[in-house]
Structure formats: structure tokens, C-alpha cells
Amino acid sequence: MDEIWKLAEDNISEYNLDLKNNGIPIRNREEHYLISFIPPLLVWDEKATKKNFYCVNNVHLYLHIPFCEIICSFCHLNKIKLGSDHSIVSLYVDSIIRELKYYFERFPQRVTIKSIQFGGGTPSILSARELDKILSAIHKYFIIDNDCELKFEFLADTNPNKYADIVNILGDFGKLKGVVDLQTKSSEILKKIGRKKQTYNEYLKTIDFLKENGVGEIITSLIIGLPKDSRGSLESTLRALASHESVSTITGYPLMFKSSDPLFRLLKNNKEYFLSEYERDVMEEFMTLFMKEHNFIESPINFFSRTNIDNIQQNGKYNSDALIGVGAGAFGYIPSKKSQSQYINTPNISHYINSTKMNQLPIWKSTDLSLSEFKRKKLILKLGTLESFEISQELQDKTILNELNYLSKLDYILLYKGRCRLLPKGRRRYTEVGTFLMDSLSINKILSYSEHQKMIRSCDFDLFPSYDTNQLKNILQTKAYL
């Protein structure tokens, strides 16, 4: 394994990721910043859309279950800790069913669903009856594709038998995938992030139980650079996961968080628990090399699967299929007349329940992307597939081509005979490359909003990425010179 570590170090040195002042955002250890290249809805003021949607072919469904048994310190997802009173979950499930019905009414005909994902929060908190109600509503309001993939997240538990009834109901789906996250094998790190009862032992018990009960594939995520993480703990986690045949897909992302997340306080007080940016890069590169060595295929980015696995939901995301997001804080994007409507639901669970009771779509913010924003979003996502693709007619735009040429000169992407693909250096800075490729008007909107930082701080819900305004200004200057 030493050779792989050595190769990872050599690669990172060769990529020269520290190159400054070239307009590509620079990562910074202090913030572990969380950025996004999808134009954030925070900068649009439009109210909930009331329009009907256009009929689409490739539609995926995401259901957000925002209740958790534990709260992990790295997590910036929309969730609350569920106490002993489960009654809020039943009310929430009724709201989900109402929201599904609204979408049924807004499409001109029943839509066929290619994949369904229950995420959260912790979907395995649902009772079998609640899950059954949601699945029955999906069957009632949509057509389920014959090859529909169903992804369902389970929390690792010392007594996984408690999931027997849920698994029984889910078992009706042919392509059932259980998502059980581990994050790391190290008990010490798990304790530091609030997952002391979700140890590797509990993880193993849970995936063994799921496998024995007919869950065909297991997807597991891990995070690189958690407090007290090290090369040793990453290697040991990867070895354990790769050798477990039940685990079909492993995803691994470097730790990123916002100043509002609990981990930020730990970073301020115990910097020594956190790795340098260089070390996190080497570890991420090691993961890529290690997975390849163990015959896993990476596609899309940071998503490693055994050879025969088809990831319908994940690939749909990168192919810009439509996504109906349902639940508090869920995000969705659906074709509109000219490009694509994006929306996010209200994250507050009481607001969410109340608006569905009042027969309103619970959308908090929504916008139609401009044509330019939409084609750039598609371009960035295509790069994330890691495959070579033809630069289509709609991308033959002088500004975009100039920017692609610039990225090619810096070795982030390869441009060759009208085709394009992300290079290994670009893979290590994919989100940053995507941010660089964002539409200038979108960046300007974010910047003008950031002038009112106080408004952002007083915002009830911190669901949005934070941007470094100096870096955004730097991007605009660089683009202006191209």
C-alpha cells in the first residue's frame, strides 16, 4: 500500500493545486468551506410557483424524512432530533402524501418515475405503516418504471431486526438499494462526531441483516478529514469496505462544513484535530487509486461501484434529468417552458405541515434558470460524469468556449476534437471548477446579495452554501480578461 500512498503524494504535487490568482477558488483549511456551483435560490426572491409543470420523461423522486435519532456534528442537512413522541412523524407523512398529490395534479399526465430515494434525516425512523402509506401514494399518483431503483437509508443499529417490517415492504421493489453510512471505521472518530453507537460492529450487523433479508445492494459513504482522521484510519476503512462483498458502492467526500455547523466550533478550539488541505487532498487521491486497484469504477465523481452496478438515481442527477423533491427542505428541478425550474421547500417542519394542510405547495423559494444558467449547469454536471462528451451545439458559445480553453490550459479539463472531459487535476477541484463555470450574472447576483450579509445571518434556515466574496470577484475579473 505504500506505493499507492507515494503515488497519491506525487500526483497531488504534480497537480499543483496551490496555484494562486488564476481565478479558480482556493480551498482553505480554516473554513472547510461548503460551496455549490448550482445557482443558489437564496439570491432569488420569487415566491412559490403556482404553475403547472411540463411533462417529462426522465423523472426521479426524492423524499426527505427530516427526523434523526442522533445528531452528528458534521451534518448540515435539514433535520431535527426526534424525541419520544413519534406523533409528528405521522402528521409529516400525511403532508408528504398531500404534496405527492399536488404534483400529480400539476402534470398534464401521470409521470413515470425512474428512481425513488428516501433520504434525510433518517428514513428508517418511519414505521412500516407510514412507509406503506407513502409507497401506496406513489403508486397511486405516478407510474413506476419497470426498472425503477429504490434507495432507502438505514441508521446502523445494534438490533437491525427492528427494520424487518420496513424491509418486508420495500422488498416489492426489484432494484432495492440500502444506504447505510459508516463515515469511518475508527470508533474514536465516530465518538468525536456524535456517532458513538454507530460503530463498525453495528454497521456490519445492519448490512448483514439487510443482505440476509433480500436487499440486493448496499451503498455506504465515508468522509475524508473528520476530526482525528489519519491515513491509517482511511486505509483501514477502505480495506474493510472493499473486502465486504455486500457493499456494492462506496462514496467518499472530503469534509466540508459551514460556520453554522457544530464542527466549526471544534475547529476553532482544536485545530490540531483537523488535517491540512494537502493531507486531505492526498487522502482523497489515495481513495481514488485504492478503489481502482480494487476494481471499482468511479462514475460519477467520488462514487465508486463494483463493475456490474447501474446507479440510476445518481446518473440521472448528472444527466440533468428532472427531480421532484418532496418533504421539508427538499430540493427539486423540473423542466419549465424554456429551461428548468428549481425550487426548495420550506425547511421548517411545522410550516411544511401547515402549508400542505392549506392546500398549498410548500415551496419556499423557486426560480426559472436562464438559458445560460441552465446550459452551464448541464455542462458542469456532464464534467462530473468523468466521461468524455461532445461539446454540443448549444455550448458553442464564445464566452463558454473561452472559459473551457482557459481551464484546459490550466490542465483542469481536456479539450480535444470538439470533445471535453475532466482531468485528474480537475477531479480534485471539481466543485471549484464548477464555481468558475457559473454564469457571470449568477455570480453577480450572489455578490450583490452578499453585500447584505446581515440578511443572510438573520435567515432562519442556513441551508445554503457560503461563498467567499473575494474569490467570486476574482472569478469575474479572470472571466473578463478571457
Which residues make up the interface to ligand SF4 (CB under 6 A)?
A: 68, 70-72, 75, 77, 79, 120-122, 155
Q: Is beta strand 143-154 parallel, antiparallel or unpaired with respect to 112-120?
A: parallel
Least Cβ distance, residue 285 to ligand SF4 (angstroms) = 25
Would you say 386 and 298 are in contact if contact means Cβ atoms under 8 Å apart? yes
Which is nearer to ligand SF4, 8 or 182 (by Cβ)?
Answer: 182
CA 235 and chain centroid, separation: 24
Which is nearer to ligand SF4, 262 or 424 (by Cβ)?
Answer: 262
Which is nearer to ligand SF4, 122 or 233 (by Cβ)?
Answer: 122
> Sheet containing 363-368: which strands, arranged edge to edge?
296-298, 303-306, 247-254, 217-224, 175-180, 143-154, 112-120, 59-65, 322-326, 331-335, 340-345, 363-368
Least Cβ distance, residue 153 to ligand SF4 (angstroms) = 8
Least Cβ distance, residue 122 to ligand SF4 (angstroms) = 5
CA–CA separation, 235 vs 283, rounded Å?
9
DSSP class per residue in 159-200: -GGGGHHHHHHHTTSSEEEEEE--B-S-HHHHHHTT-TTS-H
CA–CA separation, 36 vs 421, rounded Å?
20
Burial of 85 (0-12, 13-18, 19+ CB in 10 A): exposed
Least Cβ distance, residue 468 to ligand SF4 (angstroms) = 25
Least Cβ distance, residue 27 to ligand SF4 (angstroms) = 22
If one counts every other C-beta atom within 10 angstroms of the C-beta of residue 1, the result is 12
Cis bond leading into 160, ω under 30°?
no
Q: 128 by DSSP, 3-state: which? A: helix
**And the C-alpha cell for 409?**
490550459
Which is nearer to ligand SF4, 8 or 72 (by Cβ)?
Answer: 72
Q: Which residue is nearest to ligand SF4 (CB)?
A: 75
Which is nearer to ligand SF4, 192 or 377 (by Cβ)?
Answer: 192
**And the C-alpha cell for 234?**
482511511
Least Cβ distance, residue 75 to ligand SF4 (angstroms) = 3
Least Cβ distance, residue 80 to ligand SF4 (angstroms) = 9
Which is nearer to ligand SF4, 74 or 412 (by Cβ)?
Answer: 74
Least Cβ distance, residue 183 to ligand SF4 (angstroms) = 8
Which is nearer to ligand SF4, 73 or 360 (by Cβ)?
Answer: 73
Cα torsion angle, 143, 303, 186, 264, sign? negative
Least Cβ distance, residue 303 to ligand SF4 (angstroms) = 18
Burial of 205 (0-12, 13-18, 19+ CB in 10 A): middle
Which is nearer to ligand SF4, 32 or 79 (by Cβ)?
Answer: 79
Which is nearer to ligand SF4, 181 or 439 (by Cβ)?
Answer: 181
**And the C-alpha cell for 422?**
475532466
